[in-house]
Amino acid sequence: MNIPVILTLPDKRLRRAAKPVTAFDAGLQGMFQMLDNTMRSGPGGVGIAAPQLAINRRMLVVDCTLARHQCRNQGLLYMANPEIIEFSQEKVLGREGCLSVPEWVGVVARARSIRVRYQDVTGAVQELDSSGFEARVIQHEIDHLDGVLFIDRVLSTGDLVRRMAKS
């Protein structure tokens, strides 16, 4: 099995907004499987979005059972055209890294919990509620579909000090 190369900065394709998935066929299942295999081949990968493999489609794979720390989660998720339809106002700080920005980590504020609407591999519309680490991963991967990287959301030292003072 050939593992595709994951795009890394400064590749401009990481900054494009991905196009919706419109064909729900065997080819889509194959692309999801390729994303899944690639995610699992990387160190510590728990999520990957199609644009990271130069596939300009709104699709992502998340599996937080692969996380180094225990978390409550849904298991393996193949999501086409995901959108966050609800999110908590409460933000949590956490360190993030990315397969497309190797050797960099930063503190990012994300919604503690989200509700996501997406299509599964058959095109059926699904909704799920997610919280904690899994919600963070889904938000991170949806950002990729919009051409946004975690480094665009990293908090400055001043932001961190102000947030810590409020808690």
What's the angle, vertex CA 63, arms to CA 58 and CA 64, rounded to 5?
A: 125
Q: Is 141 labeled as catalytic in the residue annotation?
A: yes
Residue 49 to residue 116: CA distance in whole angstroms: 15
Q: Name the DSSP letter for residue 43.
A: T
Q: Name the DSSP letter for residue 66.
A: G
**What's the Cα-to-Cα distance from 127 to each of 1, 43, 85, 106, 162, rounded to whole Å?**
32, 29, 9, 29, 35
Q: Determine what percent of the chain falls in helix, strand and coil, rounding each to the nearest 5.
A: 30, 30, 35
Catalytic site residue from 86, 96, 127, 141: 141
**What's the Cα-to-Cα distance from 14 to each of 10, 89, 145, rounded to whole Å?**
8, 28, 9
Question: Catalytic site residues?
Answer: 141
